[in-house]
Amino acid sequence: MSLTYRDAGVNVARAEDALSKVRERIARTKRPEVIGEVGQFGGLFASPGADKVLVATTDGVGTKLEVARLLDRHEVVGADLVHHCVNDALAMGAEPLFFLDYFATSKIDPNVFSRVVGAMADACASVGTALLGGETAEMPGMYAPDTYDLAGFLVGVVDREKILGPQRVREGDALIGIPSSGLHTNGYSLAREIAARRAMHERSASLRDVLLAPRDELGGATLGAALLAVHRPYLAEFRALRAVADIHSIAHLTGGGWEGNLPRSLPEGTAASIDRASWEVPAVFSLLARLGDLEEMEQFDTWNMGIGLVLAIPAEAADAALEAVPGAIVLGEVVPHSSGRRVVFG
């Protein structure tokens, strides 16, 4: 009897069946610039014009995938992937145009696939981004059973003269923070290690038990629910702030925490002076720090600590920014810098 591709563990029909479950949701993301339909060898999108600059971003969801799998919350990571890429693009001043995804697994589970990609489609539609295409790969032997990996690719557009970055920032600029919804999509390897060690300490508990135990610090909610809060998109807040202030630069606080991200939005010879008392760190971070016995600097070098986006704007525009974006916080200012860390907490 001859060997077939299906015998090797790959079922092409299974991928098509999975995609059929979300075609209508993908269709709702179509923008006027999209040419043709999803399913061609490449997605087509009309050029935005010679005076425009395209901004490309790519990222994954990291080991938050493991928490989502363990607690059967696959929709979360689909939305996370889109929102993370949108936020990276707007950090350059760009409006999102289109998104592509990559979903890889050992054996496609159509139910899981449709929940993940359906959530991607819904997230794209909510921010006006076309889900232009993607790749679904079955790779037996590459992934453990019931696991999968995700990557997202987003292209946005910005007027050439409106590109944000360190070159626009000046000493004395105000630093405006917009709260996060939790860990977003970074620092989950540390969070999972803390939970795993807690399970070992309790002996009778599994990792799932630790994640599903109600916590007084979280008002009775579980650590798992807090860890699976969706990565917040900031497009609406960006647009509102752009309407009232000259945004100079934006830092999206992701992997590497504060010191790993905020200096990327500042010119050489400057630092961020941050008033640590200007906001209250959300309880999920305090809980993780207690369970893991973490030093404060380790926390700030890993997690966003409750601030997802930091924008540098002229100091005189700070009041208008706070009025335009409910929940926004004046964190501090841009100051001269000569040596040492470039994010200084006071």
3-state secondary structure string across 54-79: EEEEEECCCCHHHHHHHCCCHHHHHH
Q: What is the pTM of this model?
A: 0.94
- 346 secondary structure, DSSP code: -
Q: What is the pLDDT of residue 39?
A: 67
Q: What is the pLDDT of residue 252?
A: 98
Q: How far apart are CA 100 and CA 205, in angstroms?
A: 40
SS3 label, residue 239? helix
Domains of the chain are 12-162 (3.30.1330.10), 166-345 (3.90.650.10)
Q: What is the pLDDT of residue 214?
A: 97
Distances, alpha carbon 339 to alpha carbons 84, 158, 216, 261, 327, in Å: 31, 34, 42, 17, 33
Q: How far apart are CA 148 and CA 18, in angstroms?
A: 14
SS3 label, residue 225? helix
Q: How far apart are CA 89 and CA 86, in angstroms?
A: 5
Mean pLDDT per 10-residue section of the chain, whose length is 346 residues: 75 77 89 83 87 96 97 98 98 97 95 96 98 94 94 97 97 98 97 96 91 97 98 98 98 96 97 98 98 96 98 98 98 96 96
Our measurement of the distance from residue 256's CA atom to the centroid of its chain's CA atoms, rounded to an integer in Å, reads 13
Q: What is the pLDDT of residue 81?
A: 98
Q: What is the pLDDT of residue 270?
A: 98
Distances, alpha carbon 131 to alpha carbons 1, 24, 139, 272, in Å: 42, 12, 24, 37
Q: How far apart are CA 261 and CA 88, in angstroms?
A: 11
